[in-house]
């Protein structure tokens, strides 16, 4: 019995904060997206380019989750977007309580939307709701095209799949079958939006920005 109580208390703490975050965001009509991927898929580079290129039309704030260091928040701040760094100090995912405290530190009145960049981990972050409107999973072509079937959880739950680093496909530097990924991801998640992008060359970014504009507009409406 005591075991069950302990577990219930932990779950409801995260859920309570997730609810608090989602209520705050709903009240303010601010879109909030939880970005999840393996380490090194290029989340921060994607976000930095997105902040730079959209800052005159969509004011973006970022919550950066990392086990250690604040280099990701620094990279976002270099684009003039506000960023709050959370260090989980060994923990493998962000909690809703950490996000709640980060939202308190962001200048929300000056923002249209918020990205949460979760700890680099394709498994655990997907299991913890943060109060976001939706999840974005990023898969770099260097990671291989078998990832949707090997790590189905996060692909099944995400609004958008950004297939990143597609510049590496030119010249056949990596073996990656984009059609296989699309088929496997849609088998797990019929409605998932799949956008191949390169934050290096800019390819595909316009489609990503269109999706983001529309989603921000819907949330504001």
Give the residues lining the site for a second copy (CB under 8 A). 2-3, 6, 38-42, 66-69, 71, 90, 92, 119-124, 140, 142-144, 146-147, 149-153, 165, 167-168, 171, 173-174
Retrieve residue 65's tokens. 């989750």
Q: How many CB atoms lie within 10 A of CB 39?
A: 11
* Closer residue to a second copy, CB minimum distance, 6 or 221: 6
What is the spatial distance between Cα 36 and Cα 11, in angstroms, rounded to a whole number? Answer: 20
Rounded to the nearest angstrom, the gap between the alpha carbon of residue 116 and the centroid of all alpha carbons in its chain is: 6
**Nearest distance from C-beta of residue 173 to a second copy, angstroms:** 5
Phi, psi of 75 (to 5 degrees): -65, -35
**Nearest distance from C-beta of residue 93 to a second copy, angstroms:** 9
**Nearest distance from C-beta of residue 214 to a second copy, angstroms:** 30
Is 170 within 8 Å of 178 (Cβ atoms)? no
**Nearest distance from C-beta of residue 27 to a second copy, angstroms:** 34
Retrieve residue 63's tokens. 């919550």
* Closer residue to a second copy, CB minimum distance, 108 or 149: 149
* Closer residue to a second copy, CB minimum distance, 67 or 106: 67
* Closer residue to a second copy, CB minimum distance, 36 or 51: 36
């Amino acid at each position: 019995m005591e075991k069950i109580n302990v577990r219930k208390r932990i779950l409801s703490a995260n859920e309570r904060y997730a609810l608090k975050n989602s209520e705050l965001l709903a009240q303010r009509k601010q879109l909030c997206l939880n970005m999840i991927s393996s380490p090194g898929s290029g989340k921060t580079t994607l976000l930095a380019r997105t902040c730079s290129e959209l800052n005159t039309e969509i004011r973006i704030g970022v919550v950066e989750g990392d086990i250690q260091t604040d280099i990701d928040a620094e990279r976002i701040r270099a684009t003039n977007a506000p960023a709050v760094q959370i260090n989980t100090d060994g923990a493998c995912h962000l909690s809703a309580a950490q996000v709640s405290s980060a939202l308190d530190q962001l200048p929300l009145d000056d923002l249209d939307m918020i990205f949460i960049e979760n700890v680099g981990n394709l498994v655990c972050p997907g299991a913890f709701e943060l109060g976001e409107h939706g999840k974005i999973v990023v898969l770099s072509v260097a990671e291989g095209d078998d990832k949707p079937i090997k790590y189905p959880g996060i692909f099944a739950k995400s609004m958008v799949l950004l297939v990143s680093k597609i510049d590496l496909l030119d010249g056949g530097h990596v073996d990656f079958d984009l059609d296989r990924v699309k088929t496997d991801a849609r088998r797990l998640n019929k409605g998932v939006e799949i956008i191949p992008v390169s934050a290096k060359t800019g390819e595909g970014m316009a489609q990503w920005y269109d999706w983001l504009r529309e989603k921000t507009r819907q949330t504001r409406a």
